[in-house]
């Protein structure tokens, strides 16, 4: 059963890629937030609170239906911690009802054997669990020590693909733990990936020392995940900009808990149009709009979606997004200092 389901996922993934290349007037990926609250409070994260209530299920259904109307081919659910939503599986099933590829990002703390089975039944196709260290500390409680048993359950029961993501930067005290976590992921049959943590504006400082060493070792680790380190990160590790066309607001939509469409999690406020009012005209406009933050962006999902269209349609409309001049200058100065040393 597990093998058959995963083969079906691979086939649907091929269809997803083909449709993304065939047309430019629909979102390739949308990111939705059913709850902003999280059961943890990682020091580097700016995407959670400790009080928000779940978004009503009927409201989430309407948002999913609207994304389907826009022709969205894949939806990722995150938060906060999405497993806190009491009807998460119903939301997943609603997405799958429209034939849309469905992914979930979770810290994994609330995962149980029964929950894995419910996620199977809902039709979930991808799960990413973020693990930051081997032992919990005051920066992050997302540790292998706490989550290993849950990973074993996933290995035994999950009919969906699982990726384990680790991070470096952002104050993580033991970057070498990423290698331990990555090896454990591969041992259990999962893919692994490494995220380079951005600041509150989605940009990055160059990596150095142990963090840099870990980054390049992770590149060689087996069974790569869909969020695996890529050419975007390779430039950013050295503080170099990327020359690409960010299609956020068009090919990638970030829909916050209030139902507003933003460029991404780090650019909330642009364009901030209610999803229910979003149209093909909005998609076409943002498709051609250059983003101020693109050169030093580290938001991997937006980078990846951009590859569908980086080779076509120059962005001719005025630059939008948060002003990044000071952040970019600081990054460039750090890079120059590193080179001088």
In sequence order, the 6+-apart residues with CB closer than 8 A to the CB of 26 are 19, 70, 71, 72, 73, 283
Can you tell me the distance from the alpha carbon of 143 to that of 178, in angstroms, rounded to the nearest whole number? 10
Give me the helix-helix angle, 113-122 and 144-157, nearest 10°: 50
Alpha helices in the chain, H assignment, sequence order = 2-22, 57-69, 88-97, 113-122, 144-157, 177-187, 209-219, 231-237, 280-287, 300-306, 325-340
| HEC string for 3-71 | HHHHHHHHHHHHHHHHHHHHCCCCCCEEEECCCCECCCCCCCCCCCECCCCCCCHHHHHHHHHHHHHCC
Mean pLDDT on 227-244: 73
Domain ranges of the chain: 2-340
CATH number of this structure's domain 2-340: 3.20.20.70
**Which tens digits make up the pLDDT trace of 109-144?**
999 999 999 999 999 999 999 999 999 988 888 999
DSSP bridge pairs for 253: 30
What pairing do the DSSP bridges indicate for beta strands 101-106 and 74-77?
Answer: parallel
Mean pLDDT on 56-85: 97
Burial class of residue 243 (count of CB atoms within 10 Å of its CB; 0-12, 13-18, 19+): exposed
User: In the prediction, which pLDDT does 274 show?
Assistant: 96
At residue 202 the predicted structure's pLDDT band, cuts being 50, 70 and 90, is very low
**Which tens digits make up the pLDDT trace of 133-192?**
999 988 888 999 999 999 999 999 999 999 999 887 766 788 899 999 999 999 999 999
Cis bond leading into 148, ω under 30°? no
At residue 104 the predicted structure's pLDDT band, cuts being 50, 70 and 90, is very high
Please give the angle made by the CA atoms of 148, 132 and 115, to the nearest 5 degrees: 45
Query: Taking 60 as the threshold, does the pLDDT of residue 226 lie above it?
Result: no
Q: What is the Cα 8 distance to its own chain's centre?
A: 22
What pTM was computed for the model? 0.86
Burial class of residue 161 (count of CB atoms within 10 Å of its CB; 0-12, 13-18, 19+): buried
3-state secondary structure of 264: coil
User: In the prediction, which pLDDT does 14 show?
Assistant: 65
The number of CA neighbours under 13 Å toward the Cβ of 283 is 22
Can you tell me the distance from the alpha carbon of 163 to that of 177, in angstroms, rounded to the nearest whole number? 16
Which of 206, 128, 155, 212 has its CA nearest to residue 178? 212
Can you tell me the distance from the alpha carbon of 341 to that of 336, in angstroms, rounded to the nearest whole number? 9
**Which tens digits make up the pLDDT trace of 303-322?**
889 988 988 999 988 777 65
């Amino acid at each position: 059963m597990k093998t058959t389901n995963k083969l079906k996922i691979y086939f649907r993934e091929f269809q997803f890629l083909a449709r993304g290349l065939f047309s430019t007037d629909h979102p390739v990926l949308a990111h939705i937030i059913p709850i902003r609250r999280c059961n943890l409070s990682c020091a580097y994260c700016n995407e959670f609170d400790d009080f928000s209530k779940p978004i009503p299920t009927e409201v989430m259904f309407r948002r999913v239906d609207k994304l389907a109307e826009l022709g969205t081919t894949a939806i990722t659910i995150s938060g906060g911690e999405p497993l806190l939503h009491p009807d998460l599986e119903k939301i997943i099933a609603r997405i799958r009802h429209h034939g849309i590829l469905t992914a979930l990002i979770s810290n994994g703390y609330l995962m149980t054997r029964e929950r894995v089975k419910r996620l199977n039944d809902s039709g979930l196709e991808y799960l990413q669990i973020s693990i930051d260290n081997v032992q919990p500390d005051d920066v992050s409680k997302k540790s292998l020590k706490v989550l290993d048993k849950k990973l074993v359950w996933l290995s035994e029961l999950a009919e969906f693909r699982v990726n384990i993501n680790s991070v470096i930067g952002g104050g993580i005290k033991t970057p070498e733990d990423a290698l331990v976590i990555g090896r454990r992921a591969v041992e259990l049959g999962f893919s692994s990936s490494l995220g380079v943590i951005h600041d509150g504006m989605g940009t990055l400082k160059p990596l150095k020392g142990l963090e840099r060493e870990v980054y390049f070792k992770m590149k060689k680790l087996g069974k790569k995940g869909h969020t695996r380190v890529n050419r975007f990160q390779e430039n950013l590790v050295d503080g170099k900009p990327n020359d690409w066309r960010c299609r956020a607001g068009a090919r990638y939509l970030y829909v916050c808990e209030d139902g507003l469409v933003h460029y991404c999690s780090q650019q909330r406020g642009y364009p901030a149009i209610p999803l229910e009012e979003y149209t093909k005209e909005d998609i076409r406009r943002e498709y051609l709009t250059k983003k101020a933050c693109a050169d030093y962006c580290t938001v991997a999902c937006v980078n990846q979606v951009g590859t569908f269209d980086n080779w076509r349609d120059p962005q001719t409309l005025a630059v939008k997004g948060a002003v990044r001049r000071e952040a970019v200058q600081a990054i460039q100065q750090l890079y120059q200092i590193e080179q001088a040393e």
